[in-house]
Amino acid sequence: MTILVDAGPIVAASDTRDPRRADAQRALSAAAEPLAVSAFVAAEVDYLLQTRLGRRASRAFLDDLAVGRYRLETVTHAELLTLTALSDRYADLAPGLADLSIVILAHRFQTRRILTFDQRHFRAMTPLTGGAFELLPGDLPAVG
């Protein structure tokens, strides 16, 4: 099963000042499943790394994409139509394109596993088939 990765953990894993860094690194390295990122998430990660940590961090992420650490996924035209409906459905939450694309890709990959720090959006939004998302690293058993 694939794990979809949101921007927050990727950025945190790269930032020595981020208090969530160890959790992000642990979750990323512990994943036995393939890790996938939406192209919208990848653009967000690139921007955040460039502006917060500089070109070297951004380039390291590009290298991770190039060697396949993360599977880069785009949303199809048909999926964009579903995405727009989700945008209307969750208008009160105001989720962005990146978060909505994760919901779409979760449906495509038939997964509920999302590596994210965004509890607010992903606890409120549901998989297209119903139920709830499993949010990592928060829903992982405690270590230690």
Secondary structure letter of residue 70 according to DSSP: S
- How many folded domains does the chain comprise? 1
Q: Is residue 143 part of a domain?
A: no
Q: Evaluate whether residue 141 is within a structural domain.
A: no
- Distance CA(61)–CA(144), nearest Å, equals 29
**Confidence at residue 140, expressed as pLDDT on a 0 to 100 scale:** 64
Give the pLDDT means over successive 10-residue stretches in the chain (144 positions). Answer: 97 97 94 96 98 98 98 97 97 97 98 96 97 88 54
CA contacts within 13 A on the Cβ side of 122 = 26
Tell whether 142 is covered by a domain: no
User: Count of CB atoms within 10 A of residue 42's CB?
Assistant: 22
Helix, strand, coil percentages (3-state) for the chain, rounded to 5, are 55, 10, 35
Residue 97 falls within a domain, yes or no? yes
pLDDT at 48: 98
Is 33 within the bounds of a domain? yes
Residue 70 lies in a domain: yes
Which pLDDT score, from 0 to 100, does residue 56 have? 97
Cα gap 85→66, rounded to integer Å: 32
pLDDT of residue 39: 98
Q: So what's the pLDDT on residue 141?
A: 60
- Does residue 48 lie in a domain region? yes
Instruction: Give the distance, in angstroms, between the CA of residue 90 and the centroid of all CA atoms in the same chain.
Output: 18
CATH number for the domain that contains residue 74: 3.40.50.1010
- Is 73 part of a structural domain of the chain? yes
Q: By residue range, what is the domain housing residue 35?
A: 3-136
7-23 burial, b at 16+ Cβ within 10 Å, e below that, comes to bbbbbbbbbeebebbeb
